[in-house]
Amino acid sequence: MRINPLRSQRFGALLLGAASVLAFAPAGAFPLLWLTLGLLFELLCRTVEQARGARRGALLGGAFGFGFFLAGVSWIHVSLSVFGGMPAPVAGLATLLFCGVLALYPALVGAVFVRFAPAGMLSRAVFFAALWMLAEWLRGWLFTGFPWLAAGYAQAPPSPLAGYAPLFGVYGVSLFTALLGALGCLWLRRWFAATACPPVHGWRASPVLPVLIVGGLLAIGGGLREVRWTEPQGEPLTVALLQGNIPQDLKWRPELFADSLRIYHHLALAHPARLTVLPETALPAFLERVPGDYLAAMKALALREQGDLLLGVAVGEEGDYMNAAVSLGASPEQRYAKSHLVPFGEFVPAGFGWFMAMARIPMSDFTPGRADQPPLKIAGQRVAVNICYEDAFGEEIARALPEAGLLVNLSNVAWFGDSLAPAQHLQIAQLRALESGRVMLRATNTGMTAIVDADGRVRSTLPPFTRGALTGEVRAHAGSTPYVRWGNAPAVLGALLLTLLLARRRG
């Protein structure tokens, strides 16, 4: 039986994409992504050398992307079917379509690479890395953005590449990740004769150069991890991050509303701190409908510590409500309203009302808050609050900096059950801490509640699907990283310039 080479290559790319997910949390095998991206680069280089055309490159990149996202964000099916009430076959089809759309970005990389690849192999490696980064940035921006599983997230500490995050952000780290993979492929070409392709532009004459570049990138990244771009300021602050562990399928039942209130009051009472943080929509009701004596009791707990309590709750009325965090305590009451909403989960895109009619998702039509909300002045600190999915957007987090000394994220990833999503989300928080040079406090309903230090290391976490409080002392930080000052612009403009220059160097 004759094997179709194109089909076998596509299948190989699909498997490479699926295996890449192991580089991210919870497995955390971060060097694996260097290998899988390097092998994708090799497949694309062979396509160029065999003059197969951009369509072949698109198919290879798309196959890689489809395997990657199908393995990495399959938890979308859990939210739609298990907790969203959508029929399982429809939820499965929706998940496949979603992954197919996301796969278009790697497909674009493959097509453009094959069509415009420069002649020199080192130039090709840089060209591939820049294209990969630009496609990730585009995915994180277009149609409100879905930056989940950008390659740079896999390089959270302990990866040496994490050192580049305070300078260039997660997308810059993605570029270096793809570049390491491509350069590793060049080394394999020389020493293991992985392909029958002839040497290109004197590559065989300088086999050590990719190794030197890889070593330099890793050494510089490791050295940058020791640089402290911001400095602690003020006295240590006691914090308590509450994890109620209320199942998503029970959370919104009216008969269990009083139980939710009791759970969080008990946790706050048992774990006093100057700053207490409850998760996103911890109180499953509009703030205006929460009993006044309950809010007074929670405020009294904060006043005992001369501090503040930050709780997640919807504010407003039916038809015009926001996903918010509200402070109670010694400081005047303040609010932060989530500004970057999740399509289909928190607002209905135009023309998709029919889709939402098949799901039963409570609170799925929020009104966004303003983009320019100032940090909250609570517990003697200026705190940049973000809610759930918002921490996936680095430039949006940086809006409140350098004024804010702490980052606080309120999340409810119970929507995704016991899946990869909670661990992946914590890894996103690690990059936000690195980019900003700030401690990130995460209070979640079912996990992963955590304290992430300003160097991106996870100091402590609560076990997922347990009820409790994570307590500790943290300090605010002052100053700005280069990323806070310049955002994604240096990485994006640099990658764009590289692609334009190298595309002109075709053989």
CB atoms within 10 A of CB 191: 10
The pLDDT assigned to 506 comes to: 64
d(CA 398, CA 434): 12
Q: What is the pLDDT of residues 36-52, one digit of tens each?
A: 999 999 999 999 988 77
Q: Are 178 and 491 in contact (CB under 8 A)?
A: no
Burial class (CB in 10 A: 0-12, 13-18, 19+), 403: exposed
The pLDDT assigned to 205 comes to: 41
* Residue 25 φ then ψ, to 5°: -65, 150
Weakest mean pLDDT among 112-126, 214-228, 341-355, 447-461: 341-355
HEC readout, 440-493? EEEEECCCCCEEECCCCCEEEECCCCCCEEEEEEEEEEECCCHHHHHCCHHHHH
The pLDDT assigned to 172 comes to: 98
Q: Is the pLDDT of residue 188 over 90?
A: no
% of the chain residues with pLDDT over 90: 74
**More confident call, 21 vs 75:** 21
The pLDDT assigned to 203 comes to: 44
The pLDDT assigned to 417 comes to: 82
Q: Is the pLDDT of residue 58 over 50?
A: yes
Options 3.20.20.140, 2.40.50.140, 1.10.10.10, 3.60.110.10; CATH for 231-480 is 3.60.110.10
If you write DSSP's letter for every residue of 174-198 in order, what string do you get?
Answer: HHHHHHHHHHHHHHHHHHH----PP
Q: Is the pLDDT of residue 344 over 70?
A: no
**Prior bond of 402 cis (ω within 30°):** yes
Q: Is the pLDDT of residue 463 over 90?
A: yes
Q: How much is the average pLDDT of 480-495?
A: 97
Q: Are 112 and 120 in contact (CB under 8 A)?
A: no
d(CA 481, CA 486): 9
Q: Is the pLDDT of residue 79 over 90?
A: no
CB atoms within 10 A of CB 409: 30
d(CA 279, CA 325): 9
The pLDDT assigned to 363 comes to: 59
The pLDDT assigned to 29 comes to: 98
The pLDDT assigned to 65 comes to: 98
Burial class (CB in 10 A: 0-12, 13-18, 19+), 54: middle
> In sequence order, what are the residues at sequence separation of 6 or more whose Cβ sits closer than 8 angstroms to the Cβ of residue 426?
25, 442, 448, 450, 452, 458, 461
Q: Is the pLDDT of residue 345 over 80?
A: no
> In sequence order, what are the residues at sequence separation of 6 or more whose Cβ sits closer than 8 angstroms to the Cβ of residue 158?
30
The pLDDT assigned to 461 comes to: 97
Q: How confident is the model at residue 194 (pLDDT cuts 50, 70, 90)?
A: very low
Active site residues: 280, 338, 388
Q: What angle, 0 to 180 degrees and rounded to 10, lies between the N-to-C axes of helices 54-72 and 31-49? A: 160
d(CA 442, CA 403): 20
Q: How much is the average pLDDT of 174-189?
A: 91
* Domain extent listing, the chain: 5-228+488-503, 231-480
The pLDDT assigned to 47 comes to: 93
Q: Which of 112-121, 363-372, 424-433 has the highest mean pLDDT?
A: 424-433
The pLDDT assigned to 3 comes to: 53
Q: Which residue in this structure is represented by tokens 């076998």?
A: 8
Q: Please, what is the average pLDDT of the chain? A: 90
Q: Is the pLDDT of residue 61 over 80?
A: yes
The pLDDT assigned to 91 comes to: 85
Q: Are 227 and 221 in contact (CB under 8 A)?
A: no
d(CA 143, CA 285): 30
The pLDDT assigned to 210 comes to: 80
The pLDDT assigned to 426 comes to: 97
The pLDDT assigned to 347 comes to: 63
Q: At 400, is the secondary structure helix, strand, or coil?
A: helix
Q: Are 40 and 129 in contact (CB under 8 A)?
A: no
Nearest in space to 170 (alpha carbons), one of 147, 153, 157:
153
Beta-sheet pairing, 275-277 with 308-317: parallel
d(CA 353, CA 364): 11
The pLDDT assigned to 185 comes to: 87
The pLDDT assigned to 349 comes to: 63
% of the chain residues with pLDDT over 70: 90
Six-digit token string for 308: 């503040």
> In sequence order, what are the residues at sequence separation of 6 or more whose Cβ sits closer than 8 angstroms to the Cβ of residue 88?
81
Q: What is the pLDDT of residues 414-441, one digit of tens each?
A: 888 888 999 999 999 999 999 999 999 9
Q: What is the pLDDT of residues 129-171, one digit of tens each?
A: 999 999 999 999 998 899 999 999 999 999 999 999 999 999 9
